[in-house]
Amino acid sequence: VGYKRIERSVARWKAAAIKSVSGNDHLDDSEIIAQLVERYKRTLVTKRNLDNMASGVPDSSVPVMSEGAVGAHVSISALDGDTAGIIIKQQARRIDELERANASLLDKLNKAIPSPTVDN
């Protein structure tokens, strides 16, 4: 990868980050930096919470139902709004996948086993 490609990529990423924070508002550099720092902090907290949950760090824990995690526990104190939202979205997506798979299997089963006809 050439230097110019790296330079242009960084410029694009920087412009995208500034646009994502400022939107249509005209903020000065210090306000943009402050907002980016806050976003970064929230992202780090969310990542740390998810990492703690994945590693099974116990702390006033409650059971969590997730794919492949039998008896897993999540710390109540580790859940912030962003983390809870991520978990809910992931579980909703997984439930939808399972419901579709279930409907497909029921359809295949109904096609494989003909329903009995009633003779009068």
The pLDDT value recorded for residue 84 is: 74
pLDDT digits (tens, 9 = 90+) for 79-99: 667 777 777 888 888 898 999
In one-letter notation, the amino acid at residue 105 is L
pLDDT digits (tens, 9 = 90+) for 93-120: 889 899 999 999 999 998 888 766 666 5
Please, are residues 90 and 73 in contact by the beta-carbon 8 Å criterion?
no
Please, are residues 63 and 72 in contact by the beta-carbon 8 Å criterion?
yes
pLDDT digits (tens, 9 = 90+) for 19-73: 887 776 777 878 888 888 888 888 888 888 888 777 766 544 444 444 444 444 5
In degrees rounded to 5, what are phi and psi of residue 112? -75, -35
